Amino acid sequence: MIRLGVAAAAVAALLAGCGGGTHGSATLWVTRDEGRTVLVDTTVPAGETALQALDRKADISTRYGGKFVESVNGVAGSIAKRSDWFYFVNGIEVSRGAQEYRLHDGDVLWWDYRDWGRLGESRPMVVGAYPEPFLHGFDGRTRPTDVAYERTASRSDALLIAKQVRARMVVGPGDAGLGPGSNRIVISSTPQLASIAPSGTSDGTQFELDLGWKTAARLAHDPNALRFEYGSPP
């Protein structure tokens, strides 16, 4: 087991947020077709709602009294085409209306127009905002992150990934288990895998990212290797 720094280890408890911060900035992405086509990649002020941030950088129309986005730059949701606009914050699909989520400093706000008939109406988490949500969590609340690897040969990749997410510890084969209550990144013996899902709690602040060892090797040397990807189904 490798422990990574006193500062990271001190973040042992959940940090509670109190609404969006008014200082700093957030990243705004607008894409189509599960991230395959990038329309907007920019920054917006922290403290704005997800709707305000989108409206700042795109021409939008809304429905249901402004609660939901109908169209962005002329691309509209369609029941016939089974397509609509969905949004994620730090890779987490947000269930509340876009005017209700207020951005925090460092958040990645991702709007994507996609076919909900193919993937279903909900995809709780996607991998494409990595290294989020491990750096900024959700709604201003974060947890420490631990990294585990199943193959001894993945040790160096695990250490690089741990540095990217400011992990608390790295655990190898035969080491003691991961810390309780932490976010987790697990590098498996499967070659190709990138799947992220909620884990452990009902408050939406604990996550597990499962990586194949070849995928982890790519990510270790290029933190943007999974950018705009949905990843494998959880």
pLDDT digits 0-9 by tens, 15-68: 434 445 568 999 999 999 999 999 999 999 999 999 999 999 999 999 877 678
In tens, the pLDDT along 160-210 reads: 999 999 999 999 997 867 778 899 999 999 999 999 999 876 567 899 999
Q: State whether 163 and 209 are in the same domain.
A: yes
Residue 129, both tokens: 């905002």
Please tell me the total count of domains within the chain: 2
Q: State whether 42 and 110 are in the same domain.
A: yes
Q: State whether 115 and 93 are in the same domain.
A: yes
Q: With a cut of 60, say whether residue 126 has pLDDT above it.
A: yes
User: What is the domain-level CATH number for residue 68?
Assistant: 2.170.130.30
Is-cis flag, bond preceding 131, omega within 30? Answer: yes
pLDDT mean across residues, the chain: 88
User: What is the domain-level CATH number for residue 170?
Assistant: 3.40.50
Going through the chain in order, the beta strands assigned E by DSSP cover 2-3, 25-32, 37-45, 60-63, 68-72, 75-76, 83-89, 92-93, 108-115, 145-149, 169-171, 183-187, 194-198, 207-211
Region 90-97: what's the mean pLDDT?
93
Q: State whether 102 and 150 are in the same domain.
A: no
Instruction: List the domain range (segments joined by +) for residue 56.
Output: 25-119
Structure confidence at residue 7 (pLDDT): 41
Look at residue 129 and tell me if it is in a domain: no
Q: State whether 84 and 167 are in the same domain.
A: no
Q: State whether 109 and 147 are in the same domain.
A: no
CB contact at 8 A, 222 and 159: no
Look at residue 124 and tell me if it is in a domain: no
pTM over 0.75: yes
Close Cβ partners of 210 (under 8 Å, ≥ 6 residues apart): 186, 188, 193, 194, 195, 196
Look at residue 231 and tell me if it is in a domain: no
Look at residue 232 and tell me if it is in a domain: no
